[in-house]
Structure 1
Amino acid sequence: MGKKKEPPKPTGGLEQSGIEKRLCNCICLCQLMSIISGVALLYLSVIVVSPAKQTLDAQFVEPSVVCTTLRVEDGDCELPSCGEWCMSKGGTNCPIVYAKVRHKGTTVRFSQCSGMQSRFCSAQKFNETQSFVCSEKDKKDDKRGQCDRLNRIMDCRPTRMEKKLEGLRTNMTSLCRNITAIKECVGKNSSSSAVTPQGIMACSQYTCNDLKGIYECINGNCKKYEDPVCTDRCTSLKMGNVGIVTPNLFRWGTCEQAEVNGTVVWNDEDKPLSLYCSRMEENESGTELTGEDCLNGTLDNPDHFSDITNYTEILALLDENAEPLDVTHTALPSERSVLISNGTKVMINIQGCVNTLQKECTAWLDEKSRDGNDGMHPAVYPCYVTPESTSYVVTNYNRSKTVFQMVLATVVPSALLILSCCCLVLCGKTVGVNEFGLFFCKPCHKQEGDGGKQPAKQSAP
């Protein structure tokens, strides 16, 4: 059997060299780069460039001011406080946060303090506490009952349903109130609380309808306190000459002087001082305290101040601010003198949404939606106002970062698109396809009309 013959090479054709093969790969890469950069430029112009331009045009004022959450309402998702994906806005209701907006207070440094005590206190009243009716559905989740997610210390009492729930023999249910912020309870915590006669631990719309007493609950699993003893928080205070209210703790004791910007504004020879500060730090020995964002410095008669035993009396003293420490409200301003708005919508940014898809809004709402209805202090956080509108403020703003993101989202894909297109145009001028469909580099060969190699000259006979 003879040797297999190779097919003849095309007459007049060109064989591709290594340079031509690499040039072909380069063209494919440039085409891919031009497509990706073009799509990226279009996409980034919507989710980065346009919002960044709107943010810069709004001219938000730096430094930041202070927001204190007032309430959370369900509103239109066209412009929510925070949405997880900007392109999916609209449709259902979304939580919208409203806050009181004011300028920052001053920094106050207390020195030579002694006998300082601290305790969490709340001015909430029993009938103002969060209440849960175990037979009712959760307003935010129809698949759950109001008692499915009970947490912390609950005071549960029997109550009558307006309408008997199908599946229950009785029209009685349980009304549970969250008393964690206003009561301190001690007692025997039973090892296996019988939240129903059948001993079911997890509460639902059809269980926990006969609770009576004090319960400690974690995500709807409740344990009953046996023989509980509950006392009101912060009702037996023994004041010194200073009372400082912060969102987390109430501090009181005795100090010798207070300074603002290095200037002594109060000493122990003056009347007792009370004030509000957003944050408070103290040294290891507790003899020096530094309060940030302090307001409503109020002096009080020594006899009246020493008679104060209740936290609500301190709050009333601060709210009235009848005898301010600084009558000019410059060294230690009152809240009224720095108030910007008593109820403004709060958004995470100018669009009210994010595109990170990392549950950023879930964490944002967990922090900013604390409005104090559970007896805790409402959320206090920095925010930014714009002279263009008084109807909203934003919490996430950094001008230099915004400019950097806008430039980066514009320059990088644009440069890649221009570079890839220029390469394609240049390659289009330097390559060709011969009559046999074979790709070749024009400058690398002498051409004839059909794109083949020029035949060698024949010698004369």
Structure 2
Amino acid sequence: MGKKKHEPPPPTGGLDQNGLEKRLCNCICLCQLVSILSGVALLYLSVIVVSPSKQTLDAEFESTPVVCTTLENMRNSTNCSVLSCGEWCISKGGSTCAIIHAKVRREGSAVSFRDCDPVRATFCSAQEYNQTQQFICSEGEDKTGQCDALDRFMDCKPIKNKADDIKTEMTSLCRNITAIRDCRGTKPDGTQEKEIHVCTRYTCNALNGIYECSTGNCKKLENPTCVDRCSNLDMGNMAVVTPDLFHWGRCRSAFSNGTRIWTDQQKPLSMYCTRIRNVSATEMEAEDCLNGTLMDAPSFRQITNYKQMLGVLERNEEPLFEDQSFLPSEKTVEIFNRTKVMINVLGCVNTLRKECTTWLAHKGRDGSEGMHPAVYPCFITPHATNYVITDYDRQATVSQLVMASAVPSCLLLFSCFCLCLCGKTVGVNEFGLFFCKPCHKQDGDGGKEPAKLRAP
């Protein structure tokens, strides 16, 4: 006698499915979709969220921000291995090669001036003429050229043309003098010149004189008169230099954290501050103030231009407090005299919202255009001296790490568990339809036991 063999039960259900079986079929399809999507999400999130978040937390950045001041923006650096900010981390090399270096220091004191006469404010720049931005109109990429975006006051002069594809001997070199000079011009009859030059690579090669421009549309100033900005200051007994404006006037006292640190009975006081929070008729509040310097009243009143004021602050010959308890000198709070600045530990973002364009426009201001270099908060780690980052929030980083790892993982495990469970309870008949095994007696013959084959 051979071994007994059982015939497989005949298919059950035919072309009919009950409501439960239809819902079960839909549930399987949904679980398959969720498992695929959660698996793919887990794969991508592990690269663009989980790994960077873990690196950020492992670096142990200090939660209290320090202050960065941009020193140099290397827009076309030859070393692009680690950028300051690049779009889309997975695609390396697709962003503009920009590397920013800055000096890093601790934050200074908060100061409030009280009982003031109206404090005056104006924009000043210490830039020299030969340091101003220059543009050569016949040079540049495509048809736009370097003069297609000239803005504000330009001092243009003819120079020898070096571009082979421009059929002209001479072209124009224009310097942006907006930051250092204020210009006015009139025709003999008192009207302004109305002719407008629209600059491209092939036009504006004959500019000569002072022009007022707006995004490449320039008009020449007739009989121009230019005066140096901040060249005739009338000092009082206090002066505050900020990245945006120079403030000066006369006040009776200054306080820091509720402590009076200066009165008008002392020598005139000058300082550098990053932010002016409030200016009213009689008060002015400033934050992150450094280099508090006292100066003899006669010498202070002899200061007539902005460069002299910067020299006083840089020398800091007579500090307000010898122990640097208030308004410390910049050297005493310095952390790094030069280091790389990155938006995060990877130096790139994955938002695809041109976030780096905005970031570089602000953090990349190094003073080359005559404005004050960018000053902004940044974060340091005790484990590295070669870089700092600007975007850091430990709580948000932990939340992103948990969400990016836990949510897709839980969905993947749950959907796989459901599929395994369905695999034990679902069968397929000869018509290719799902049927629920526990819902039918698998005898195919009205509940009778299936026939058994006996060996001959």
Q: TM-score, normalised by structure 2?
A: 0.91
Q: CA deviation at 1:187?
A: 1.8
Aligned partners of 2:270 and 2:293 also within 8 Å:
yes
Q: CA deviation at 1:447?
A: 2.1
Q: CA deviation at 1:284?
A: 3.5
Pair 1:114-2:104 in alignment: no
Tell me what 2:183 maps to: 185
Pair 1:440-2:441 in alignment: no
Tell me what 1:454 maps to: 447
- Secondary structure in 1 matching 2:110: strand
Residues 392, 204 of structure 1: CA spacing in aligned structure 2 closer, same or farther, 3 A cutoff? same
Tell me what 1:339 maps to: 334
Aligned partners of 2:148 and 2:199 also within 8 Å:
yes
Structure 2 matches for 1:31-430, cutoff 5 A? 31-73=32-74, 74-75=76-77, 76-90=79-93, 94-137=97-140, 141=141, 144-161=144-161, 163=162, 165-170=164-169, 172-188=170-186, 190=192, 192-193=194-195, 201-285=197-281, 287-430=282-425
Residues 97, 205 of structure 1: CA spacing in aligned structure 2 closer, same or farther, 3 A cutoff? same
Aligned partners of 1:446 and 1:454 also within 8 Å:
yes
Aligned partners of 2:143 and 2:202 also within 8 Å:
no
Q: CA deviation at 1:434?
A: 3.4
Q: CA deviation at 1:62?
A: 1.8
Q: Deviations 1:323-343 (Å, cap 9, x if unpaired)?
A: 000111122211000111121
- Secondary structure in 1 matching 2:360: helix
Aligned partners of 1:77 and 1:91 also within 8 Å:
no
- Secondary structure in 1 matching 2:173: strand
Residues 13, 252 of structure 1: CA spacing in aligned structure 2 closer, same or farther, 3 A cutoff? closer
**Corresponding pairs, count:** 433
Aligned partners of 1:82 and 1:347 also within 8 Å:
yes
Distance 1:101 1:392 in 2: 10
Distance 2:277 2:127 in 1: 26
Residues 352, 12 of structure 1: CA spacing in aligned structure 2 closer, same or farther, 3 A cutoff? closer
Q: CA deviation at 1:133?
A: 1.8
Tell me what 2:5 maps to: none
Distance 1:143 1:70 in 2: 32
Q: CA deviation at 1:135?
A: 2.2
Aligned partners of 2:11 and 2:430 also within 8 Å:
no
Runs of 4+ with >4 A deviation:
10-14
Q: CA deviation at 1:148?
A: 1.8
Distance 1:182 1:92 in 2: 33
Distance 1:361 1:133 in 2: 28
- Secondary structure in 2 matching 1:414: helix
The alignment-based identity, stated in percent, is: 59
Aligned partners of 1:136 and 1:146 also within 8 Å:
yes
Q: CA deviation at 1:388?
A: 1.4
- Secondary structure in 2 matching 1:331: coil
Amino acid at match of 1:168: K
Q: CA deviation at 1:217?
A: 1.1
Q: CA deviation at 1:46?
A: 0.4
Aligned partners of 1:190 and 1:223 also within 8 Å:
no
Amino acid at match of 1:61: E
Distance 2:255 2:270 in 1: 14
Q: Deviations 1:384-437 (Å, cap 9, x if unpaired)?
A: 111111111111000000000000001100110011011111111111123554
Q: Deviations 1:176-228 (Å, cap 9, x if unpaired)?
A: 1101011111123745325xxxxxx2212222121111111122111111121
Distance 1:12 1:176 in 2: 88
Amino acid at match of 2:347: G
Aligned partners of 1:71 and 1:99 also within 8 Å:
yes
Residues 408, 227 of structure 1: CA spacing in aligned structure 2 closer, same or farther, 3 A cutoff? same
Aligned partners of 1:434 and 1:452 also within 8 Å:
no
Residues 11, 37 of structure 1: CA spacing in aligned structure 2 closer, same or farther, 3 A cutoff? closer
Amino acid at match of 1:36: L
- Secondary structure in 2 matching 1:112: strand
Greater CA drift, 69-78 or 238-247:
69-78
Distance 2:445 2:238 in 1: 99
Aligned partners of 2:143 and 2:200 also within 8 Å:
no
Q: TM-score, normalised by structure 1?
A: 0.90
Q: Deviations 1:123-144 (Å, cap 9, x if unpaired)?
A: 111111111122222xxx4654
Aligned partners of 2:366 and 2:374 also within 8 Å:
yes
Amino acid at match of 2:363: K
Tell me what 2:17 maps to: 16
Distance 2:98 2:31 in 1: 47
Distance 1:361 1:135 in 2: 30
Distance 2:95 2:353 in 1: 21
